[in-house]
Amino acid sequence: MLFYLFAKIAYFSQTNQIVCMVFLLPFLAIVAGYAGALWFQKTSANIAYLLAFSGAFLLSITFFELLPQAFEYGGKSVGVALLIGMLLQIGLDYFSKGAEHGHVHHDAPLNNFPLVLLISLSVHAFIEGFPVAHSQHVLLGVVVHKVPIALILSIYLLKANIRKIHTLLFLILFGCMTPLGTYLALYFSPILPYLNYINAVAIGVFLHVSTTILFESSKDHKFNSLKLMTILAGAILAFFL
């Protein structure tokens, strides 16, 4: 399945560079996060600001683009799907311990491959791949969101003394999930009649993750002036895209 997916990506990269970027950029965001983890080796205050910026940017893209589109083609049922997405993300948080919004507090023993964490993160990444398929702005929002998350996640994996090959396997599988969701949204025709509702589920996921980032990225839920300016910058940039 993965070989077939990457063969398709290679084919479309020759005919449509934009489609190629839709597949590659989310994966490259994971690569950038891992490279950053090797550089920093530990979390820093600067990562918290990057996380806050990404949360504000993703939330704003959701409000400015995804929500209007979703309710344009559906009514109360779209709202139900959106609520399902929020509840789904709450359930995923239970297993991932908040890794989707930059707070990795997993209880897996050191040196053990965190399979439950991988599954929960993969479900999250797979769902967010669907709205990416038809919007470059959402693509950018997801990429900006993924870089600090991948950075913090990679730092956790490195500090947990997990074998390097297992860490790379974890990140590769995680990195493939968003492109897989995008591929299905673009080329798996049976899913097209339900795509608006799947996107609404993704909106619910985005709303929960981004708002949690904004509140949890500040100590005691308080915002200093620099963090407030960072959040405003993310929102303003999303508005003018």
pLDDT at 63: 94
Contacts of 35 (CB under 8 A, 6+ apart): none
pTM confidence score: 0.86
Contact 32, 171 (CB under 8 A): no
Please check whether residue 136 is in contact with residue 18, taking contact to mean a CB–CB distance below 8 angstroms. Answer: yes
Q: Which residues of the chain have pLDDT under 50?
A: 1-3, 12-15
Can you tell me the distance from the alpha carbon of 222 to that of 228, in angstroms, rounded to the nearest whole number?
10
Residue 19 is predicted with a pLDDT of: 65
Q: What pLDDT score does 201 carry?
A: 97
112: three-class secondary structure by DSSP: coil
Read off the DSSP letter of residue 99. Answer: G
pLDDT on residue 42: 55
8-state DSSP, 65:
I
Supply 115's token pair.
């399979």
What is the number of other CB atoms lying within 10 angstroms of the CB of residue 149? Answer: 25
Token output for 63: 């409000």
- Domain count for the chain, please give it: 1
Q: Where are the alpha helices (DSSP H) in the chain?
A: 2-15, 17-40, 45-61, 67-72, 76-96, 115-132, 136-159, 164-187, 195-216, 225-240
Q: Which residue has the tokens 């980032």?
A: 213
Q: Is residue 12 helix, strand or coil? A: helix
**How far is Cα of residue 8 from the mean position of the Cα atoms in its chain?**
23
pLDDT of amino acid 197:
95
**Domain containing residue 50:** 2-240
Q: Which residue has the tokens 């489609």?
A: 19
The CA-CA-CA angle for residues 151, 153, 155, to 5°, reads 70
